[in-house]
Amino acid sequence: MMNKITLILGGARSGKSSYALCLAKKYKKVAFIATCLGLDKEMQERIRLHKESRPKHWKTFEEPKDLSRLIGKLDNGFDCILIDCLTLLVSNLILSKNTQEQILEKIEELLAVLSKKKARVILVSNEVGLGLVPVNKLGRDFRDIAGRVNQMAARNADKVFFVVAGIPLKIKACLPAGREDK
């Protein structure tokens, strides 16, 4: 069976995570992988609210950096693997002093591990390239790496949605074998 990967992109508060949850709710056994670190009280409260919004029967894994290892350990009993989100993963890896090359290698490894799983995969990521050029090097590095990660994920995805104001726009769809976009 060909693995189906769906990438959902959008800006902050665009509704991308809500749309990902909506897509994943049609599956019975869902592995939800959260990459967020609750470093302050406000973020811890956000995490708590996000947890409450997910179905209770889903299995939640919190892994801020080593998703390939975690996913490699998951059995093939899951119907769906939802990762929320790739940009927080990139941020965590940058703050852990990984170079751009190391981060891109980790994403390549992640995509390879995901492709071997039977489960449908839903990836959530922020589109970070629509704003102004960040004023500092860390911000520019983050934007550049996140943009490259999104491109890698989109190339590997069968479907890509861009969510704006809670409305998902399909920007890439899987075509039947032998057909090409004209």
What's the pLDDT tens digit per position in 114-148?
Answer: 999 999 999 999 999 888 899 999 999 999 999 99
Q: How far is CA 173 from CA 124, 160, 176, in A?
A: 16, 7, 10
53: its two tokens? 């919004």
Q: Per CATH, which fold does 5-172 belong to?
A: Rossmann fold (3.40.50)
- 25 pLDDT exceeds 50? yes
pLDDT at 181 over 70: no
Cα separation, 164 vs 8, whole angstroms: 11
Q: Which helix (H) or strand (E) holds 61?
A: strand 59-62
- pLDDT at position 176 is 54
Confidence band for 44, pLDDT divided at 50, 70 and 90: confident
Tokens of 177: 């074998």
Owner of token pair 């189906």: 4
* pLDDT confidence tier of residue 59, bands split at 50, 70 and 90: very high
Which residue intervals of the chain are DSSP H helices?
Answer: 16-24, 41-53, 67-73, 86-95, 100-115, 137-156
Q: What does the DSSP 8-state code read for residue 40? A: S
Side-chain-side CA neighbours of residue 182 (13 Å): 2
Q: How confident is the model at residue 37 (pLDDT cuts 50, 70, 90)?
A: confident
Token pair belonging to 149: 């990660």
User: How many Å is the Cα radius of gyration of the chain?
Assistant: 16
Q: What's the start-to-end Cα distance of the chain, in Å?
A: 27
* Residue ranges per structural domain of the chain: 5-172
pTM above the 0.85 mark?
yes
Contact by Cβ (8 Å): 34, 47: yes
User: For residue 115, what are the contacts with CB-CB under 8 A and spacing of at least 6?
Assistant: 3, 5, 156
**Catalytic (active-site) positions:** 50
Examine the pLDDT at 1 and tell me if it is beyond 80.
no
Gap between the Cα atoms of 25 and 18, Å rounded: 11
